[in-house]
Amino acid sequence: MIADHVDMRGMTMSGPATAQGNGRYAITAEFVHGGNWRVTVQVNQDGANVALEDFDLAVR
Ligand SMILES: [Cu+2]
């Protein structure tokens, strides 16, 4: 998971997701401040990137 603060160039954070079972994964993230963030979820399998999805998240 990568989170990019789109309002502030160069501010990003990232970390791994943990398996919850039944194909579900979870992340815990502490956003340093509110604003508009773009979260990118990246799925790697056998060292290759197999899926990539972006979504926008407004942190208030
Ligand atoms: Cu920021």
Span 17-52, pLDDT tens digits: 999 999 899 999 889 899 999 999 999 889 999 999
> Measured in angstroms, how far is the CA atom of residue 3 from the centroid of ligand 1?
10
Identify the domain containing residue 14 by its residue range: 2-59
Residue 18 is predicted with a pLDDT of: 93
Residue 24 is predicted with a pLDDT of: 94
The tally of domains found in the chain comes to: 1
Confidence of residue 5 (pLDDT cuts 50, 70, 90): very high
Concatenating the DSSP letter of every residue in the chain gives -EEEETTSTT-EEE---EEEETTEEE-----SS-EEEEEEEEEEETTEEEEEEEEEEEE-
Residue 51 is predicted with a pLDDT of: 94
> Measured in angstroms, how far is the CA atom of residue 10 from the centroid of ligand 1?
8
> Measured in angstroms, how far is the CA atom of residue 9 from the centroid of ligand 1?
8
